[in-house]
Amino acid sequence: MTDRYAVIGNPIQHSKSPLIHTAFGSATGQDIEYGKIEGAIGEFAATADAFRAAGGKGMNITAPFKLDAFAYSTDRSPAAELAGAANAIKFDGDRVCAENFDGVGLVRDVVHNLKRPLRGKRILLLGAGGAARGALLPFLAERPAELVIANRSLDKALMLASIGSEHGAVTGCTYQDLIAQKFDIVFNATSASLRGELPPVHAMVFLPGALAYELAYGKGLTPFLRLAQNAGVAHLADGVGMLAEQAAEAFAWWRGVRPDTREVINRLTVPLV
């Protein structure tokens, strides 16, 4: 019997999740059907209930419903608790289990696909919102020399750093505090690129041989990546690998088998030009 899954968001037409999970199902021999649902704002619970009543087994969650999915769930993983948001749920009898695979997907893309270890490196994370929260513990689990979180609001950066402080070397600061600091890997977890804007970071933050990683995907050479390129950074990446890897984590959580991601990443990659 075919098992039903879906991604929910608003808007949702742009989502690549059906393509990704359908490819995963074919590659692993799993009998699934995967669709997309444009949920009405303020009606997440009713929409999820209807999908569940119709036999749905699980859902991926995208903007703006990650907080709604977290509130809707009955059982939450530590990653979901830390992020305060869920990007995947599954239905298990009366239970609704919530997970957040964004951070682990990001780390796997960098370490496994891009062959850039985080251990012993100086890492800069731009932004202190939901994406940064999801990445915090997976980053620190890799034992970087230091993780610096920069944000417009110092309070938010310090709060996030305090959450991670017992897990590794992490500090919070404003963008102005980055003067004279340099990093091996710089992640843009702000929403600036979604608006075609540049986060307020200077071009001198990149060490020779650095990696500049844009969490947004499919945008080509964003203002952040262009800044890095103009600063002489040769290693640029966007979030397409993160998208595929977090999807593979959700698929494995639902189905018990983890698909290979390389074909999907190659299919979705947009040249950074």
Q: Position 269: which residue type?
A: T
Angle at 116 between CA 110 and CA 122, to 5 degrees: 100
38, β-bridge pairs: 9
Q: Is 230 helix (H, G, I), strand (E, B) or coil?
A: helix
Q: What is the DSSP code (8-state) at residue 237?
A: E
66 labelled catalytic: yes
Tokens found for residue 64: 């703006």
| Residue pair 227/201 in contact by the 8 Å Cβ criterion | yes
Tokens found for residue 258: 């983890």
**Which listed residue (66, 90, 182, 219) is catalytic?**
66
| DSSP one-letter string for 210-227 | EEEEESS-S--S-HHHHH
Angle at 202 between CA 142 and CA 226, to 5 degrees: 85
Task: Report the distance separating Cα 116 and Cα 114, nearest Å.
Answer: 5
End-to-end CA distance of the chain: 44
Strand-strand pairing, 88-92 and 56-61 = antiparallel
- Residue the block writes with tokens 């251990």: 119
Catalytic positions: 66
